[in-house]
Structure 1
């Protein structure tokens, strides 16, 4: 139930007005889970956070929402005395970048794919939720950007930040802590629910599958996987979701090929086999089927 509540909070966060933010986050607690080596996973509201601690300073992946920054900083202080030096954004959505301004103003360097900075710096519209997102202030923007990949040699680990191409959005990156053997997937992986694909931000179902294939190629049997949302995972669970996506993409494509409309495809309930396992989150089976239909009709690039 706690997992489902978290997914519900994500959906609400994309729709709620800022005036309710403080009340909504007042009771949120930030929890720290040891993952492997010096890597920890933080959970609260919004995207899961990865933290690498050590003598070089703290390294963090994603930062949830601005009202939670003080709580996150308190947990970080309990993990290490060294200051927070780097924050990686896996993509631009506010439940992963909301703390950028606070943390950047506190001295951390924000790093992301160049498309993350482009989207954060301009007005966006998330079509799936009919939600307009205003530009972020300059202090919230990544100060270091890359086009393909970058590597940090930090705290005795080699941290690979790899852009995966349009998937959840057009700015997605996965982060692999090589020595700890931990992979942070961002929102390419929603563990336990149908994954949200933000077509209006350049995402596509084909890209999601390709990104999962890339991630699986980087992992071994013992790799720990931090999903964008949901509990700590592993390659077997990731492959299970990847195979589900492939199967449902094929079913929906067949319905499209027979000339069925969007409404008819949804009415055919192609996801029924998997709804008990994946259809209990904020991405309802009907909504998710409609998004996949739209993605396949537009093509991999997400363009009409």
Structure 2
């Protein structure tokens, strides 16, 4: 009951309008990841920043009420103009400040991100990406080569992974919740097995010594991502086996996820919500 209450409260907190939230006490913390790539930690998805003498590139921008704090944090790294913004997917904790930054730089995203933002109940044309792509695109800024690559049917249907080739840094967006159960947006084109497939493809296709900025959680590496992948594989097999045995949702919730991964439960995605996602995604 307590876990369910926490998840409900967290869901409400994450989906409220930015105008209804008080971000006055939120601190944007800056972490150097590798070379000229930084991570900004605040309230919402982790932000990536590329700092060069020819300008800055921003990956995701959290909530609207944090835009000026995010901008100040970027300027504290390097007081150069913002050149590009990338959205890894459409969720508000990654795109909420689009309206603010769109006046400063073009926003890049997968075509499905633009479509989903445009189809919101109260769409704001200033929030929309102005450069879209199907499979991916390359951006060159100073000496850095930034590769944007679309991964379909994972967290959503518009996921982009950002790879800073010179710095050897990957920003996975929400295809990685480090040390936590992930949110898979089944209503937004997400897919349980597609999520695992995307994770395994990233692990195999990118350098083994790459540093990773996850969508949520601490900076890590490919080995940390493999630990997350093992949790996904176990969870899918665990629930698939139970469903094949004819167990009901009630039975599976009573069975739980098992001791090994109980600590992956967090405020937004509790063990119960994770199991319900798996049941809904695998039971079709």
Query: The TM-score by the shorter chain falls in which range?
Result: over 0.9
Cα RMSD, aligned residues only: 1.7
Moved more, 79-88 or 164-173: 79-88
Give the Cα separation in 1 of the matches to 2:170 and 2:185.
Answer: 22
Q: Deviation string for 1:188-220 (max 9, x for gaps)?
A: 111121001110101111111111112112333
Aligned to 1:224: 211
Alignment of 1:205-220 (within 5 A): 205-220=192-207
- Distance apart, 1:154 and its partner CA: 1.3
Aligned to 2:273: 287
Give the Cα separation in 2 of the matches to 1:104 and 1:196.
Answer: 27
Alignment of 1:81-230 (within 5 A): 81-105=79-103, 107-123=104-120, 134-230=121-217
Give the Cα separation in 2 of the matches to 1:275 and 1:177.
Answer: 33
Q: Deviation string for 1:135-175 (max 9, x for gaps)?
A: 43001000000000111111211111000111111100110
SS of equivalent to 1:193: coil
Judge conservation of contact 1:52–1:155 (CA < 8 Å) in 2.
Answer: no
Judge conservation of contact 2:211–2:220 (CA < 8 Å) in 1.
Answer: yes
TM-score (norm 1): 0.87
Judge conservation of contact 1:113–1:171 (CA < 8 Å) in 2.
Answer: yes
Judge conservation of contact 2:89–2:173 (CA < 8 Å) in 1.
Answer: yes
Aligned to 1:4: none
Q: Deviation string for 1:244-264 (max 9, x for gaps)?
A: 111110110011111222222
SS of equivalent to 1:53: strand
- Distance apart, 1:266 and its partner CA: 1.6
Give the Cα separation in 2 of the matches to 1:196 and 1:272.
Answer: 20
Q: Report how many aligned residue pairs link the two structures.
A: 278
- Distance apart, 1:15 and its partner CA: 3.7
Aligned to 1:265: 252
Matched, 1:16 2:33: no
**Is there any run of 5+ residues in structure 1 with no aligned partner, and where?**
1-6, 124-133, 299-304
Judge conservation of contact 1:271–1:285 (CA < 8 Å) in 2.
Answer: no
- Distance apart, 1:32 and its partner CA: 0.9
Which structure 1 residue ranges, 4+ long, deviate > 4 Å from structure 2?
Answer: 7-10
Give the Cα separation in 2 of the matches to 1:236 and 1:243.
Answer: 11
**Is there any run of 5+ residues in structure 2 with no aligned partner, and where?**
1-6
Aligned to 1:127: none
- Distance apart, 1:281 and its partner CA: 3.7
Give the Cα separation in 2 of the matches to 1:8 and 1:38.
Answer: 38
Judge conservation of contact 1:60–1:88 (CA < 8 Å) in 2.
Answer: yes
SS of equivalent to 1:139: helix
